[in-house]
Amino acid sequence: MKTENKYLISIIGPTAIGKTSLGITLANYFNTEIISADSRQFFKEMHIGTAAPTKSERAAAPHHFIQHKSILENYNVGAFEKDAIAKLDILFKTHDYVVMVGGSGLYVDAVTTGLDHFPEVDKNIREILNQQLETEGLASLQRQLKDLDLESYNRIALQNPQRVIRALEISIGSGKPYSSFLNKDKNNRSFTTVSIGLTAERAIIYDRINARVDSMIDHGQLEEVQSLLDYKDLNALNTVGYKELFKYIDGEWTLEFAISEIKKNTRRFAKRQLTWFKRDPETSWFDFNTDFKTVLKAIQNKK
């Protein structure tokens, strides 16, 4: 059941497009606070390489879920959903509006619509499926999924072995098709989400990404990565901007090549972000240079 006149303004879009700046402007306008839905900015050891809001930006408006965890902690989207909803329950007691800024699509969806809930299954199933992938190839897993869950076979990215294995392990472990658990039992939200997307022409997005990467390097990203070398195998650090520089530090790549790979992989990430966010027909999209009054009017018209 929705609480009357409580709105979550969700600012989405590709990396380096200006979401943080708009979020702060909106938070100041509505005299409210910001929650982050960027899964890379949760970790306090990763500041430069994740383009986390600066101290001055965080001082300009209260931020939550920024550098609140350590890379040594196990923090996932399920835990974030619970934490974020609990924080929103508190913030909505004193605010009619809260702003959410984030480029991690799954984490944004976890807050706005909730996650799909799957049953616990025997962990050995995944191990067996991984062995099958190695010995028999992806095609054998695809055929098995087609037999067990035709709907998932027709919908998921069949060339992605992780997706195929995930669908299979749930189907085998539960005795029910993976697809039967999708879009079921999601939590109804007590607030209304107003989704605002920022974008630009592809060439502009890429230029902004390249400029940001150069700025990160100039501001000490390599030194930050070097300080984390002992932890490079952690999942949190298996991400763009870190894994490439680890290869440079290990002597596999030149620094010039590592930086070019960061730019390339960030551009690919931005493309995936847009593909994910464009699925929602309720999002109002704006060029990143759109004046604030136009965006504000769109928000007010969504109420």
Phi, psi of 57 (to 5 degrees): -65, -40
Angle between helices 77-91 and 105-112 (to 10 degrees): 50
- Nearest alpha carbon to residue 38 among 62, 10, 61: 10
CA–CA separation, 26 and 8 (whole Å): 11
CA atoms within 13 A on the CB side of 109: 13
Cα 9 from Cα 192, distance rounded (Å): 9
Residue 13 assigned as binding residue: yes
Name the nearest CA neighbour of 194 among 49, 75, 303, 50: 303
Residue 249 sits at φ, ψ, to 5 deg, of -60, -35
**Is residue 19 a known part of a binding site?**
yes
- The answer to whether the annotation marks 270 as part of a ligand binding site is no
78 marked among binding-site residues:
no
Please tell me whether 15 is known to bind a ligand: yes
C-alpha to C-alpha distance for 107 and 189, rounded to whole angstroms: 15
Q: Is 14 annotated as a binding residue?
A: yes
The answer to whether 62 touches 33, Cβ cutoff 8 Å, is yes
Annotated binding site: 13-20
Annotated binding site for ATP: 13-20
Annotated binding site for substrate: 15-20
